Amino acid sequence: FLFTDKSPCSTKYIILRTGFSGQIKTYLVFITSYFPWLTILVVLPIFAGSSIFLFPHRGNKMFRWYTLCICLLELLLTTYAFCYHFQLDDPLMQLKEDSKWIDVFDFHWRLGIDGLSIGPILLTGFITTLATLAAWPVTRNSRLFYFLMLAMYSGQIGLFSSRDLLLFFIMWELELIPVYLLLSMWGGKKRLYSATKFILYTAGGSIFFLIGVLGMGLYGSNEPTLDFERLINQSYPVSLEIIFYFGFLIAYAVKLPIIPLHTWLPDTHGEAHYSTCMLLAGILLKMGAYGLIRINMELLPHAHSIFSPWLVIIGTMQIIYAASTSLGQRNLKKRIAYSSVSHMGFTIIGIGSITDMGLNGAILQMLSHGFIGAALFFLAGTSCDRTRLVYLEEMGGISIPMPKIFTMFSSFSMASLALPGMSGFVAEFVVFFGLITSTKYLLMPKMLITFVMAIAMILTPIYLLSMLRQMFYGYKLFNIPNSNFLDSGPRELFLSICIFLPIIGIGIYPDFVLSLSVDKVHAILSNYYHR
């Protein structure tokens, strides 16, 4: 039925791909006006963050409130622009901007959003605002700390809204320096080791990314083209397309992460400040999955069709491997980090299924894990700050002196292990259903992969419930003299409730999120069914 669908969104997409795009572009410009919403959203955080250095130093309170106000303003502007200038039923790029940036290289500042990018952009605004609130205890060189958070904010919004390949790469690289500095200056004892490991892995993957960008831009034409809309219609020899795909995949495998290029993640999360962990788990990992859909799946469909069975196999192995490894971790943050690696395996499987249901499930899992992962790292960080302990075997009995943290930690752990009624359950169920209904794979491989995924879903509650038992039950900490632990304050409680509400909302009514991407997903996959 996908092939014969005559809905308005499909007709628009087919017209675009057959060359009659002028009328549609004129119509889109007419309804969205020329106001540069996306440029303002990309530029505002980093420019406003730069002005923080002009403020007189009168304590950290001024810097905290200023940064929080900038994040709230950005989130409100984003919400307003999307509510009043974005049409959900249109799979084409909207709010488009195209202006020359560097004349010598014919490099353009091209921005635009569609159903695929609107979810990650809203997630970025939401998590960054809450991460700023979570960073309230940071006092050492707080001016630079908050500036780096706002610089990351600009890079993330720019990546999710860019529709130029070179601009996408620049925004991809803009993340590296802020994260490196946040790790190396405000991390734990091994912060320099983890920061160096992070920069080596991500910069190494970026080399392959840059080669792929230049290869796609310079191939087959006298003038280099980096515009996504023109590259969609570009065809390549299959062998060359596979080389491009593999180069991009290495870069995404580091950020997503995909095994065996995941080893930087536990070290980074184990040493970073918990507000930085919220940004890493909530947004940074999603950049890899977004790039895999936006570039590999949309621009290189032949190669993706060849690689998709391997993505499903790797995703299944990743879920099992990371869940098993998480169970053996003594460090609380590293256990949650490996659970993130395991949950991102569902996103890889959904992308590899090449079905409407599977790809929508992958996008839903990206957003769901963004909320759950950020919340778990925040609560793990606050618990470790209060007890001064990071190893699980040293903990025990925290539930009595800290009942609020116990309640919140248990609730988010239930969401992570896919309890029905929460977002994790819906996302994983949709990915399961997408894989089972895929016509690309035979029945026996699908049954085998589904069986292995089911085993992994049994391992998830084992390591999460074991973590809760070691932390909150027992009597170990009662034997420590002067062990007066403070429970969650109003700030922590407010932040946890803010993250918990969308997790429950998506779990009860997932169509609210799926409606954002369903038309765009259908447009991407029509390229596979029409071949």
- Judged by DSSP in three states, 197 sits in helix
pLDDT-derived band at 197 (thresholds 50, 70, 90) equals very high
How many C-beta atoms lie closer than 10 Å to residue 387's C-beta?
A: 19
**pLDDT at 222 exceeding the cut of 70:** no
Tokens of 236: 């390549």
- The pLDDT value recorded for residue 26 is 38
- The pLDDT value recorded for residue 232 is 87
Alpha-carbon radius of gyration of the chain: 23
pLDDT-derived band at 287 (thresholds 50, 70, 90) equals very high
Burial class from Cβ neighbours inside 10 Å (0-12, 13-18, 19+) for residue 189 reads exposed
Q: Are 383 and 332 in contact (CB under 8 A)?
A: yes
Residue of 398 and 113 predicted with greater confidence: 113
In a domain, 43, yes or no: yes
- Judged by DSSP in three states, 102 sits in strand
In a domain, 95, yes or no: yes
- The pLDDT value recorded for residue 18 is 37
| CA–CA separation, 100 and 98 (whole Å) | 7
pLDDT-derived band at 202 (thresholds 50, 70, 90) equals very high
In a domain, 520, yes or no: yes
pLDDT-derived band at 11 (thresholds 50, 70, 90) equals very low
pLDDT tens track for 410-462: 999 999 998 999 999 999 999 989 999 888 888 888 888 888 888 888 899 99
What amino acid is encoded at 215 in this protein?
G
Residues 6+ apart with CB under 8 A from 204: 254
- Judged by DSSP in three states, 487 sits in coil
- Judged by DSSP in three states, 227 sits in strand
Place of tokens 């980093």: 46
Q: Which of 244, 282, 283, 288 is nearest to 262 (CA)?
A: 288
pLDDT tens track for 288-312: 999 999 999 999 999 999 999 999 9
Indicate left, alpha or beta for 140 from its phi (over 0: left) and psi (-120 to 50: alpha). Answer: beta
**pLDDT at 476 exceeding the cut of 90:** no
pLDDT tens track for 40-99: 999 999 999 999 988 887 778 889 999 999 999 999 999 999 988 888 877 788 888 888
- Judged by DSSP in three states, 164 sits in strand
pLDDT-derived band at 510 (thresholds 50, 70, 90) equals very high
In a domain, 381, yes or no: yes
Q: What is the mean pLDDT of residues 473-502?
A: 78
Q: What is the mean pLDDT of residues 391-409?
A: 87
In a domain, 12, yes or no: no
- The pLDDT value recorded for residue 450 is 86
- The pLDDT value recorded for residue 364 is 95
**pLDDT at 123 exceeding the cut of 50:** yes
- The pLDDT value recorded for residue 141 is 85
**pLDDT at 104 exceeding the cut of 90:** no
- The pLDDT value recorded for residue 391 is 87
- The pLDDT value recorded for residue 444 is 87
Q: Are 308 and 354 in contact (CB under 8 A)?
A: yes
Residues 6+ apart with CB under 8 A from 358: 349, 350, 351, 352, 430, 431, 433, 434, 435, 438
Q: Which of 421, 424, 411 is nearest to 366 (CA)?
A: 424
In a domain, 1, yes or no: no
| CA–CA separation, 284 and 289 (whole Å) | 10
Task: Tell me the residue range of the domain where 240 lies.
Answer: 37-530
In a domain, 383, yes or no: yes
- The pLDDT value recorded for residue 4 is 33
In a domain, 18, yes or no: no
Q: What is the mean pLDDT of residues 18-25?
A: 39
Partner residues linked to 98 by β-bridges = 110
pLDDT-derived band at 19 (thresholds 50, 70, 90) equals very low
pLDDT tens track for 23-42: 443 333 334 446 888 999 99
- The pLDDT value recorded for residue 2 is 33
| CA–CA separation, 107 and 491 (whole Å) | 45
- The pLDDT value recorded for residue 24 is 42
| CA–CA separation, 427 and 360 (whole Å) | 9
Residue of 4 and 499 predicted with greater confidence: 499
Burial class from Cβ neighbours inside 10 Å (0-12, 13-18, 19+) for residue 367 reads buried
pTM of the model: 0.89
Cα separation of the two ends of the chain = 15
Q: Are 520 and 363 in contact (CB under 8 A)?
A: no
Tell me what the pLDDT averaged over the chain comes to. 86
Q: What is the mean pLDDT of residues 213-219?
A: 87
**pLDDT at 472 exceeding the cut of 90:** no
Number of separate domains in the chain: 1
**pLDDT at 368 exceeding the cut of 60:** yes
Q: Which of 202, 395, 349 is nearest to 285 (CA)?
A: 202
**pLDDT at 16 exceeding the cut of 50:** no
